A and B are shown apart, each in its own frame.
Chain A
């Protein structure tokens, strides 16, 4: 294994007080330079010339709209049309108009394109019928003239109540009972996270255009052209050529345009088929938030045995995710969540049990990190609590347990190469001066402690009003599809050398801001020995490009980029063998003489990588990326507000292809994680999102964003020809637990539920009532009624059966998370050691 970090580790920053602050232009240790080529489509984006879906003009196009359920669960009785309205000027589409299967599916055939009359409505935003009209005013009038009649059914809104399980997994290694028997300390904790909205700034948008061959072309904002292609063929009963999918410039995806665009494409296609004109299905923000997929809420319970020196000896982890109303991608989200649930730590005795259940809430789906941010938040927060319990530094407990070369994961995977957990940990801690800052914050905390200016609050409100803290987290992220996923995908990427002498890349991998259109020509140009500008990239249009698999799972640079390098090397060898000269010098003449040739490269399994989907044993991923995040926060002691001031992020992504783009991924992912940790919360009532607008679902602004310093660590993966491992999702896994640890360092309380809103922080400090748990019903404000004792008592500890229970008798939290109890308030459960009052 090689770890290359350039430049090599250097001395600490000169100004100690501002250890985490990096002035613009200042060189950050390890921050890779020089820059790669300029973003290929950058000038078009910067001048306004780039065409996103809603910018495309199709003469004569009609406007489409979706009639949705307004109930979480019901029987659809009828879709009535007001007879006073002139229906000849619009088209209406119902389930009866679907020529093929009324199904949109990636894993399970459970989701209809439109609920048929007599069918069951399963969530609040479920599509029931479609409308198209030549202008927006007529469309609005038609919408108002449709009336939906239903028979309400009782909804299931809590995944812990659901008897419908989409997927469940068990991962086990060693002997759990023996592990707990040798533990000096056993700590239990339950952690909850709610929905998170991807909130790409461009809403979902799809335009369907009828083709002369009876098929349909859809142009839209999307991540995965061939997912949509497959969905269209099935629902519209079309051939491979009749269904055509073209990606418009796409204004962000983050997983949110992996799956739902298939439904929108079918809807637009159905309307276009019926009215015979192009139909624009452009979502507004409200509809996009209401209807499209979110990050899965999860409840994660840890019971961990540890020796007094900090060595992990037993991990028992239970995960329940809320899949929402339909299966979508839930089984694979859950799988990734379970595989990452223990964190990047060696532990001989592990049992991870995970299940995802159905509820009558809008379906949840892919979002950057794909299950791992949920479970790694729990793992890291739990480990930080263990460190506190043992009197160890958060850095030290990680040093003692982090995976090293040749360690074995719970699935039996031996980490044979590209293991850089220790490297990212040390580099982040060093750059952030973690231990030195932590000493300083500890002193400040002890000065605050007990001065008692606020009744019942552990910390005094002093003139400065804020308390500062520093927190650390470490994470890992499996590169590419889980298990045998890449083998099943069998992706193809191609390079064409045209008779006119153009070198053209043909892939279905999409650009959505992450840099596909820049790094692909960069990689191919390098492999061919030609200039970056000499390599073109074909548009993502299923009529021209092969299926390179979906643009998800941080797989594009590693998997598809790797295929392109191999294809380029084959093309180069073919030309150089024939001409005897270098490719660069000879390809134009050779192509003119021989005509266009195309090299297709299909994915071959990485050598020595095997996974058994049945037993969940083997190499879950060909390699892992490793990330560490150190965050420094200020907590306002009067309001409970958190300001994340500075972040140091050290990420091992294998070989860095393009430093500027890679840093951009780390910075953007880190801020999404900080939003997840502090302000992003979907509130639900009766299965409906309450804050379904950008005025009420908040994401960080430039003023909320910390100064982020990125350190790129390079531990190449030998299975990929360039050694890249992917970067998109990795930073999303570590930001939230680092912030939560920093909040604890500042004010001495653990926040178990994300996000750490002012309400939760004040409740933890004993200054307010506890708000509703994330992902569950209620308004979620401090004014909300407390959850009932029975409600609070139900957590996923229940499935842990058998064996001795070595849980300690005393409380495990220095300051348990809860608000003051008033007379008549529900009692907190007494059997949970974490919930006992001291």
Chain B
């Protein structure tokens, strides 16, 4: 099946089985391995990506459902400027780095995408709302304390 998507701003066209998981298309066909697989059944949220503005578990999305859609993955968060090898972290990533919101890092890409969708939808620094927004993303390292703290920092209006 011919699939067209806008992946992290780049027009992408590929011919794959329509029932292939969006997760596998991203990781194996497009080499975007930042998106992780933790359970394969939509429980852990490690594979979270933003599909047309909504956070989805990419392990549960057949790629045919993403045809014609805009997909954003963790690779699309940092700003890459021409002529430099590195990437400049966005405010959310920077907040995770400074507060200690990433430990082993395997839940981090999915957590960032859930938090990014929350912030893009106008979410503020309210702790309960933040916890609700990331309730579908499991973390086994942090106890969530510093993840919530990072999102609070990123949600605060910049001075």
Our verdict on whether A and B bind, yes or no, reads: yes
A: residues with CB less than 8 A from B are 24-25, 35, 38-39, 41-52, 54-55, 57, 198-203, 249-254, 284-285, 512-515, 660-661, 663-664, 667-672, 693-695, 699, 701-703, 705, 707-708
Q: Which of B39, B97, B107 contacts A39 (CB 8 A)?
A: B97
Binary interface encoding of chain B residues 110-139 relative to chain A, with 1 for a CB under 8 A from any of its CBs, else 0:
001000000000000101001110111111
Chain A residues in 8 Å Cβ range of B62: none
Q: B104 near A671 (CB under 8 angstroms)?
A: no
Q: Mark B22-37, 1 if CB is under 8 A from A, else 0.
A: 0000010001111111
Closest to A203 in B: B38
Given A667-B143, A667-B146, A699-B140, residue A45 in contact with residue B105 (CB < 8 A): yes
**B97 touching A46 by the CB < 8 A rule?**
yes
Q: How far is the CA of A661 from the CA of B101 in the complex (A)?
A: 10
**Are A47 and B78 in contact (CB-based, < 8 A)?**
yes
Chain A residue at minimum C-beta to C-beta distance from B37: A54
Question: Is B141 touching A252 in the complex (CB atoms < 8 A)?
Answer: yes
Q: Which of B61-93 contact A (CB under 8 A)?
A: 73-75, 77-78, 86-87, 89, 93
Determine if B40 is an interface residue (Cβ-Cβ < 8 Å).
yes
In the assembled complex, the CB of A41 is this many whole angstroms from the nearest CB of chain B, namely: 7
Task: Give the A-B contact count at a CB cut-off of 8 A.
Answer: 181
Q: Could you tell me the distance in whole angstroms from the C-beta of A548 to the nearest C-beta in chain B?
A: 20
Q: In the complex the two chains form, is A45's CB within 8 Å of B145's CB? A: no
User: Do B104 and A512 have beta carbons less than 8 Å apart?
Assistant: yes
* Cβ-defined contact, B139 with A201, below 8 A: yes
Name the CB-closest residue of A to B94: A46
Contact check, A48 vs B74: say whether CB atoms are below 8 A apart: yes
B54 adjacent to chain A (CB < 8 Å): no
Beyond A43-B97, A47-B74, whether A24 also contacts B38 by CB under 8 A is no
Determine whether the beta carbon of A201 is less than 8 Å from that of B135. Answer: no
Look across to chain A and name the residue whose beta carbon is closest to the beta carbon of B32.
A48
Q: How far is the CB of A627 from chain B (nearest CB, A)?
A: 14
A-side contacts of B27, CB under 8 Å: 55
List 23 A–B pairs whose Cβ atoms lie within 8 Å, in order of A's numbering: A24-B125, A43-B86, A47-B78, A47-B93, A48-B32, A48-B33, A48-B34, A48-B75, A57-B31, A199-B140, A201-B46, A252-B104, A254-B140, A284-B40, A515-B103, A660-B100, A663-B100, A664-B146, A667-B145, A668-B143, A702-B130, A702-B131, A703-B135
Flag if B38 contacts A49 (CB, 8 Å).
no
Alpha-carbon distance between A57 and B143 when the two chains are bound, in angstroms: 32
Check if A660 sits within 8 Å of B99, measured CB to CB: yes
Could you tell me if B140 and A702 are in contact, using CB atoms closer than 8 angstroms?
A: no
- Asked if A46 and B103 make an inter-chain contact with CB atoms under 8 angstroms apart, the answer reads no
CB of B34 to closest CB in A, whole Å = 2
The answer to whether B105 and A50 touch across the interface, beta carbons within 8 angstroms, is yes
Instruction: Give chain A residues whose Cβ lies under 8 Å from the Cβ of B73.
Output: 48
Which residue, of A701, A702, A703, has the highest number of chain B Cβ atoms within 10 A? A702
- Chain B contacts for A668, CB-based, 8 A: 103, 140-143
Instruction: Tell me whether B147 is interfacial, beta carbon within 8 Å.
Output: yes
- Are A695 and B43 in contact, CB atoms less than 8 angstroms apart? yes
Say whether B13 faces chain A, with CB atoms less than 8 Å apart: no
A702 and B134 within 8 A (CB):
yes
B105 touches A663 (CB 8 A): no
Apart from A43-B97, A693-B43, A708-B145, what are 14 other A-B pairs with CB-CB below 8 Å? Answer: A38-B97, A41-B105, A42-B97, A44-B105, A45-B102, A48-B75, A54-B33, A284-B40, A513-B105, A661-B100, A664-B143, A667-B143, A667-B145, A670-B143
B140 touches A694 (CB 8 A): no
Q: Which of B35, B41, B77, B86 has the most CB of A within 10 A?
A: B41
Interface status of B148 (Cβ within 8 A of chain A): yes
Return A190 CB to nearest CB of chain B, in Å.
Answer: 30
Give Cα A270–Cα B88 distance, bound, in whole angstroms. 43
Cβ–Cβ < 8 Å partners of B140 in chain A: 198-201, 252, 254, 668, 672, 699
- Whether B52 is near chain A, meaning CB under 8 Å from some CB there, is no
A200 contacts which chain B residues (CB < 8 A)? 104, 106, 140
Contacts of A661 in B (CB 8 A): 100
Determine the residue in chain A with the shortest Cβ distance to B133: A702
State whether B74 touches A708 (Cβ < 8 A). no
Please name the residue on chain B nearest to A200 by beta carbon: B140
Q: Closest CB-CB distance, A157 to chain B, in whole Å?
A: 28
Q: In the complex, what distance in Å separates the CA atom of A815 from the CA atom of B143?
A: 33
Interface contact A252-B112, CB-CB below 8 Å: no
| Least distance between B111 CB and chain A CB atoms (Å) | 9
CA–CA, A515 and B141, complex, Å = 11
Contacts of B93 in A (CB 8 A): 43, 46-47
Supposing A24-B149, A702-B134, A703-B135 touch, asked if A201 and B44 sit within 8 A by C-beta, the answer is yes
Interchain CB contact under 8 A, B131 and A703: yes
**Is there an interface contact between B135 and A702, defined as CB atoms closer than 8 Å?**
yes
| Given A201-B44, A202-B38, A285-B38, A251:B102 Cβ within 8 A | no
Contacts of A25 in B (CB 8 A): 149, 152-153
Minimum distance in angstroms from B8 CB to a CB of chain A: 10
Task: Indicate the member of B43, B44, B104 with the most A CB atoms within 10 Å.
Answer: B104
Contacts of A52 in B (CB 8 A): 33, 36, 106
Which residues does chain A contribute within 8 Å of B141, judged by CB atoms? Answer: 252, 513, 664, 668
Do B38 and A46 have beta carbons less than 8 Å apart? no
Q: Are B107 and A693 in contact (CB under 8 A)?
A: no
Residues of A within 8 A of B86 (CB): 43
Chain B residues whose CB sits within 8 angstroms of the CB of A699 once the complex forms: 138, 140
Q: How far is the CB of B30 from chain A (nearest CB, A)?
A: 12
Nearest to B42 among chain A residues (CB) is: A695
Instruction: Please list the 8 inter-chain residue pairs (A to B) with the smallest Cβ-Cβ separation, ordered nearest first.
Output: A48-B34, A251-B106, A513-B104, A45-B105, A667-B143, A513-B103, A671-B143, A55-B33
Q: Given A49-B34, A667-B145, verify A42-B40 contact (CB < 8 Å).
A: no
Residues in chain A near residue B96, CB distance under 8 A:
42, 46
Q: Which of chain B's residues has its CB closest to A36's CB?
A: B100
Contacts of B35 in A (CB 8 A): 48
Asked whether A46 and B102 contact (CB < 8 A) given A693-B41, A702-B134, the answer is yes
Kindly state whether residue B48 has any CB partner on chain A within 8 Å. no
- Choice from B34, B38, B99, B153 contacting A201 with Cβ under 8 Å: B38
Q: Is the CB of A51 within 8 A of B33?
A: yes
Alpha-carbon distance between A515 and B105 when the two chains are bound, in angstroms:
11
**Docked CA distance A456–B43 (Å):** 38
**CA–CA, A46 and B147, complex, Å:** 12
Q: Which residues of A contact B46 (CB under 8 A)?
A: 201
The reply on B58 being an interface residue by CB < 8 A is: no
Task: Determine if A24 and B39 form an interchain contact, defined as CB atoms under 8 angstroms apart.
Answer: no
B150 to chain A, nearest CB (A): 10
Evaluate contact between B148 and A702: CB separation under 8 angstroms: yes
- B159 → chain A closest CB, angstroms: 14
CA A515 to CA B108, docked complex, whole Å: 15
- CB-CB < 8 A to B136: which residues of A? 701
Bound-complex Cα distance A285 to B106 (A): 14
A47 to B148, Cβ gap below 8 A? Answer: no
Is the CB–CB distance between B134 and A694 below 8 Å? no
A645 to B140, CA, bound (A): 18
Task: Please state if A694 and B39 are interface contacts (CB–CB under 8 Å).
Answer: yes
Determine if B138 and A701 form an interchain contact, defined as CB atoms under 8 angstroms apart: yes
The CA-CA distance from A43 to B94 in the complex, in Å, is 8
- Knowing A51-B33, A660-B99, A661-B100 are in contact, say whether A667-B106 is a contact too (CB < 8 A): no
B34, B75, B97, B106: the one contacting A252 at CB < 8 Å is B106
Q: How far is the CA of A24 from the CA of B99 in the complex (A)?
A: 11
Residues of chain B contacted by A39 (CB below 8 angstroms):
97, 100, 102
